[in-house]
Every structure is written in structure tokens, then in C-alpha cells.
Amino acid sequence: MATLRENRYGKTGVRLVKVTRAGHVHTIREWTVRVLLEGDFETAHTLGDNTKILPTDTMKNTVYSRAKESTAESMEEFAAELVNFLLARNVQVSAAEVHIEQALWKRMDIDGEPHPHSFLRGSNEVQTATVRQAKTGERTVISGFEDMVVLKTTQSSFEGFIKDELTTLKEASDRLLGTSITASWSYNTQPADYNATREQLRESMLKTFAGHNSKSVQQTLFAMAEDALAVLPHLDEVTLTMPNIHNILVDLKVFGQENTNEIFMPISDPSGYIHARVTR
């Protein structure tokens, strides 16, 4: 006999661009939203009874409708509004989770001045927020970003590692260090401004990455998380994933040339994979 242990369902990939117009100065936000519901949906699975199922198309429409009414300035605030709205209107739902990804749009500088209504798409970095709340429990908020690609051309080494009969990697006292940072963090108290907190944390991590004399990706990862926790006391923990995106020094001796740390061959795969959760 089969037993349904857990289930949830929802709508994903709900794309939304919201334009806020303050006179001739406009602001845009591009969000991709995922809504997930948990609750009393067993009979939908076992009997095909849809009487307790809120259509996922309705969830999509809810995102757009609430976005029109919302005054939220951050993903976290808007996600909390959606969670509260869905819980209040659906007695069969025991918990709701909303995950939002935000694309980076930057205001254009034209003739040295920020343009009031023209924007430039930034890097592939995506900012994230996940809000989950059960009707009988506390709300959890996880903020973050993904795919922040960074590289430094010195102050990075990798030496003293294990060497056995399968080791071909040479020690490097001065190498390129490139990675695509994915970070997430939780809070011990609600910040006054989620957007400002994200910007402070992001800038702290970039400053540490740039200035750290790295003996390994692991050491730099920990230093970045440690400094972020020191700068932002309302954070509870920071989780970082930092793949080591390799740039291989090209051997030019066959051409009668010396390669003094100038010519590299970037490779995307395989790459190292470094992950850690650092708590206060």
C-alpha cells in the first residue's frame, strides 16, 4: 500500500517587470517568482479530487495583481505580502513559500548624468529572496545572490596540498583566482532595509575578495563570510558556494617564449567546487 508522505505544488517561472514612475524618474524591477503551497491536498493525489486545489494559473494571476497593489521596495517584502495573502484566503493551505529572483538593471549614465528612464542590463548575477511561513509557525527569510563572477590576477596561491601518484597539479605561488559566487544568508532580526543589507553584504564580500591574500578558495570563502557577519550584526549565518573557475597557464616554451603569468587558457569544466555555511 502506498502512502503520501509529503507534497507541495505551485507555479514557477512567473516573470514580472514593474515600472515605478515618480514624475520623469522611473525605476524598474524584473522579478521571476515561484509560489509553492503545502497543505491538505492528499485527496487530489489519491482520488483525483481537485476541490481543495488552487489552480497554479490563479497563483500566476495573484502575483501580477498583488504587484499592482504593492508598495514593497524589496523582494523580501513582496514575497511576505504574497505569502500572507495566500495563507489568509486558503484554509486548506498549511504553509506557503515564495521565491523571487531579480535581474540586475542599472540606470544608464548619459553625458555623466544618470538617465531618468533608460537602463542597462548588468551581469548575469541574479539576486534572490525566499520567504516561507506556516500558519502555526514563524516566518523565515533567506536572501542571497547567484552567479556573481569575479576574478583577481594576483594575491592568490595554492601550495602544500596532498601529492600522490595521481597528482599532476603543480604548486602555484601566484595564480589567477576566478569564481562565480552564490551566497545566501538568514537573519536573527529583521533589517530596516533588505536592499541596503544586500548591498552592504555584497560590497563587504567584494572588498574581502579583492584584498585577501588567498592561500586557497576555502580560506577566501571563510574570510568573506566572516567579514560579512562582522559588518552586519543582524545576520545569523552566511552560506557560500564558490567554484574554482580555472585559468590554465599556457606553456609557450615550444615557441621559444617565456610565459611570465600573462597568457592563460580559461576553462569552464571541470572546476573545483567549494561550499560552506558559516554561522555567528
Q: Which residues of 111-123 are buried (b: 16+ CB within 10 A; e: fewer)?
A: eeeeeeeeeeeee
- Residue in the structure block whose three cell numbers are 542571497: 144
How far apart CA 208 and CA 80 sit, in angstroms, is 32
What's the confidence (pLDDT) of residue 277?
A: 98
Cell numbers describing residue 16: 514580472
Q: Whose CA is closest to 185, among 128, 130, 144? A: 144
Q: What is the torsion angle, in degrees rounded to the nearest 10, for the CA atoms of residue 220, residue 226, residue 232 and residue 238?
A: 80
Task: Please report the pLDDT score of residue 259 as a whole number.
Answer: 95
Topology agreement, domain 9-138 and domain 148-279: yes
542590463: which residue's cell? Answer: 121
Distance, CA of 249 to CA of 157 (rounded, Å): 13
- What positions carry a catalytic annotation? 11, 56, 246
Instruction: For the chain, list the strands marked E by DSSP.
Output: 9-22, 25-39, 93-110, 113-134, 140-152, 177-187, 235-241, 247-249, 264-266, 275-279
Rounded CA separation 52/94 (Å)? 12
Q: What topology does CATH give the domain 9-138?
A: Urate Oxidase (3.10.270)
Count of CB atoms situated within 10 Å of the CB of 268: 9
Using an 8 Å Cβ cutoff, are 131 and 139 in contact?
Answer: yes
The span from the CA of 26 to the CA of 28, in Å, is: 7
Q: How far apart are alpha carbons 238 and 227 in whole angstroms?
A: 10
**What pLDDT is attached to residue 168?**
94
- What does the pLDDT read at residue 254? 95
In this predicted structure, what is the pLDDT of residue 137?
86
Name residues of the chain where pLDDT drops below 50: none
The domain ranges of the chain are 9-138, 148-279
DSSP structural state of residue 174? S
Identify the residue whose cell numbers are 528612464.
117
Class of domain 148-279: alpha beta
Mean pLDDT rounded to a whole number for the chain:
96
d(CA 14, CA 243): 29
